[in-house]
Amino acid sequence: MNAAYNTRILIVDDEEVVRDSIRESLLPPPRKDPALASAAAALFGDKPAATGSTASAELLVFEVDEAATGPEALAKVEAAIAAGRPYAVIFLDMRMPGWDGLRTAQRIRERDTRAELIFVTAYSDASLDEVIAKAGANVGYHCKPFAPEEIRQIATKGVHDWHKVRGLEALIEVIGGLRGGEREVNTLLHNILGQVVAMVGSDAALLGRTGPDGRFDPLFGVGAWQDPRRAGPVLGIVGSLTHRGPAGAVTLRDDLAIMHLESYRIAAALRETSSFDAEKVYLLELFLASAGQALENARLQERVVQTERLSALGGALAMIVHDLRTPLGNIQGLCDMIDEAVAVGRTDEVREYVPYVRESSHEAMSIVNDVLDFTREAAIERVSVRLGELGRQLRDKTRHLFKSDALELEVLVPTDEVVSVDAPRLQRGLVNLIKNACEALAKQRTPTPRVTATLRLDGDDAVFIVADNGPGIAPELTSRLFEPFATHGKSGGTGLGLAIVKRIAESHGGTLTVTSSPGGATFMVRVPRT
């Protein structure tokens, strides 16, 4: 019956005769020859005994090793762990030369805390409390002399206990992953089905939803039932049973295991060699109960996220529409004025209105571009470009911001090195930083306002710095500075400028940071040079 059981046993005793006795006790009882049994029954007038009984078929077959001393036992334990084949049960004599049983147990526990330790001794120099304190709680006692059946029963129970604890450990690890790592319901359902298949040892399983009428609607499958339509009559069997079991219950029917998971059901085909005992059913029901809770948590999380998204989207749309109304309203008003001028023949006035139309249209397009830049997920396209060329382009693109002699822009390029970046997107990010700096300086009416842009290398990184000499950023604003749609008290704009710069930096595998003091604010974009 071994199947996937770990039945490795280590016997530790300095007396060879004791080791041999325990080893022989762990051997399965010999099967009687049917012909010999019948002859004996006829000779003595007894009823022939049944051979090949179910009980003997269910006996474990143990794999036994021996050690005569504590150090030898420790070496075998270490070798077993290194090979990935630890012992499930270790029988220990208490009184041995050199390391006694308790010291041996302590040293073994330093390497293996999971093995079931059984002291087989006629006497002990330590109390049970002392043994537990030094060797752990999973220890047992058995007094010499012993009957073979007793040793076999102790070993069998030890193996089952070892596997039960390993199953619980694995279950806790799986449940921890479900609770901590999964958010989307569909992903979680696939994860649950995969874990169930592994626990049951099935090569065909499917998961589906059940309606109020009990109808079973398969969603997806694995193995031979990856296409649920291939499950055939199984669908009808699952549908007929779905309303009968409580959440977390496992129903066994013919060669099927049907599991009930809230409004979902899982059906797994059982192999002929599948061992589906009460312990496995118990662990499976524990898993399903916890998986159901994880599923409910995932649903709640999705609802919260969806609500937050809708709320944020509504607020963002309201802000964008509000900001678009001003330039679009200006354009509409200017168009009306142009119509009136043309109607009365004052065509010379039309030329005066064109710059205002163009300015308002640029403002509207800037808002639209901000939204598009923030929402699209286009991959960056790196090209080789010199820092000096980037600096010249940056000066050209921001020239309109520095028409006033009172506002100064200084672009510094210490060394004209080559970098590999998405130049258009990076330029747009730096323009946003310079534009923000200009707006901050104008709002605070900083005397002799100045913006400095520095483009340089720092090791394997390209660094782009935009600094101003304004009053700095209020501490209460820094925590939300890079959040989208946060305007930080500005009367216009989408609040996407810094969020866009942050996304551009991160798409390059870099970062955007800010430092602030009463002497000004400094934004730094750091990206890999290549």
Residue 112's CATH number? 3.40.50.2300
Is 456 among the domain residues?
yes
Residue type, 130: E
Q: Are 196 and 259 in contact (CB under 8 A)?
A: yes
Is 306 among the domain residues?
no
Identify the CATH number of the domain in which residue 338 sits. Answer: 1.10.287
Judgement on whether residues 291 and 182 belong to the same structural domain of the protein: yes
d(CA 524, CA 441): 18
Q: What would the DSSP string read from start to end of 1-68?
A: --TT---EEEEE-S-HHHHHHHHHHHSPPPPPPHHHHHHHHHHHTPPPPPSS-HHHHT----EEEEES
Residue type, 102: L
The CA distances from residue 231 to 77, 195, 209, 236, in Å, are: 47, 20, 15, 10
Judgement on whether residues 392 and 489 belong to the same structural domain of the protein: yes
The SS3 call for residue 250 is strand
Is 519 among the domain residues?
yes
User: Tokens 């509207």 map to which residue?
Assistant: 364
Buried b (16+ CB within 10 A) or exposed e, 16-27: eebbebbbebbe
Judgement on whether residues 368 and 393 belong to the same structural domain of the protein: no
Q: Tell me which H or E stretch contains 411.
A: strand 408-412
Which residues touch 240 (CB under 8 Å, ≥6 apart)? Answer: 214
Beta strands in 242-391 (DSSP E): 250-253, 256-261, 264-269, 383-386
HSE of 25, CA atoms in CB hemisphere, 13 A: 21
In this prediction, residue 161 carries a pLDDT of 82
Is 186 among the domain residues?
yes
Judgement on whether residues 368 and 413 belong to the same structural domain of the protein: no
Which residues touch 406 (CB under 8 Å, ≥6 apart)? Answer: 448, 449
DSSP state, residue 134 = H
- CA-based Rg of the chain, rounded to a whole angstrom? 39
Judgement on whether residues 15 and 156 belong to the same structural domain of the protein: yes
Domain count, the chain: 4
Show the tokens assigned to 318. 């309201």
SS (H, E, C) 372-393: HHHHCCCCCCCEEEEHHHHHHH
Around Cβ 333, how many Cβ atoms within 10 Å? 14
Is 285 among the domain residues?
yes
Which residues touch 378 (CB under 8 Å, ≥6 apart)? Answer: none
Residue ending a domain, choose from 375, 410, 425: 375
Around Cβ 119, how many Cβ atoms within 10 Å? 23
Helices (H), 376-496: 387-397, 423-444, 475-478
Buried b (16+ CB within 10 A) or exposed e, 459-484: eebbbbbbbbbbbbbeeeeeeebbeb
Domain that holds residue 82: 8-27+62-161
Is 278 among the domain residues?
yes
Is 2 among the domain residues?
no
Judgement on whether residues 152 and 13 belong to the same structural domain of the protein: yes
Judgement on whether residues 23 and 155 belong to the same structural domain of the protein: yes
The tens place of each residue's pLDDT in the chain, 530 residues long, gives 555 689 999 999 999 999 999 999 998 766 655 666 566 566 555 555 554 444 444 578 999 999 999 999 999 999 999 999 999 999 999 889 999 988 999 999 889 988 999 988 866 666 767 777 777 766 787 887 888 888 999 999 889 888 877 776 676 566 555 554 445 677 778 888 888 888 787 888 998 887 766 678 888 888 889 888 888 888 878 777 645 555 677 888 878 888 887 778 888 888 765 566 666 777 777 778 777 777 777 777 777 777 776 676 666 677 677 678 878 888 999 899 999 888 888 888 888 888 888 888 887 887 777 677 666 666 788 999 999 999 998 988 888 777 766 788 889 998 889 999 998 889 888 988 998 888 888 887 778 888 999 999 999 999 999 999 988 887 777 767 777 655 555 544 556 778 888 888 998 999 999 998 888 899 999 999 98
DSSP state, residue 527 = E
Burial of 355 by CB count in 10 Å (0-12 exposed, 13-18 middle, 19+ buried)?
A: exposed
Judgement on whether residues 260 and 115 belong to the same structural domain of the protein: no
The SS3 call for residue 204 is strand
The SS3 call for residue 514 is strand
Judgement on whether residues 241 and 340 belong to the same structural domain of the protein: no
Identify the CATH number of the domain in which residue 440 sits. Answer: 3.30.565.10
d(CA 344, CA 199): 87
Q: Are 441 and 451 in contact (CB under 8 A)?
A: yes
d(CA 175, CA 168): 10
> What are φ and ψ of residue 386, in 5° steps?
-85, 145
Judgement on whether residues 144 and 251 belong to the same structural domain of the protein: no
CA 188: distance to chain centroid? Answer: 11
Considering the entire predicted model, what is its pTM?
A: 0.40
The CA distances from residue 199 to 102, 186, 195, 286, 376, in Å, are: 37, 20, 6, 12, 42
Judgement on whether residues 424 and 356 belong to the same structural domain of the protein: no
Is 54 among the domain residues?
no
Judgement on whether residues 400 and 354 belong to the same structural domain of the protein: no
Residue ending a domain, choose from 340, 359, 375: 375
Sign of CA pseudo-dihedral 415, 419, 422, 423: positive
Q: Are 530 and 522 in contact (CB under 8 A)?
A: no
* 469: nearest Cα among 426, 510, 516, 419: 516
Helices (H), 52-111: 54-57, 70-82, 101-111
In this prediction, residue 54 carries a pLDDT of 41
User: Tokens 């109020």 map to which residue?
Assistant: 212
Residue ending a domain, choose from 96, 127, 161: 161
Beta strands in 124-263 (DSSP E): 139-143, 204-210, 216-223, 250-253, 256-261
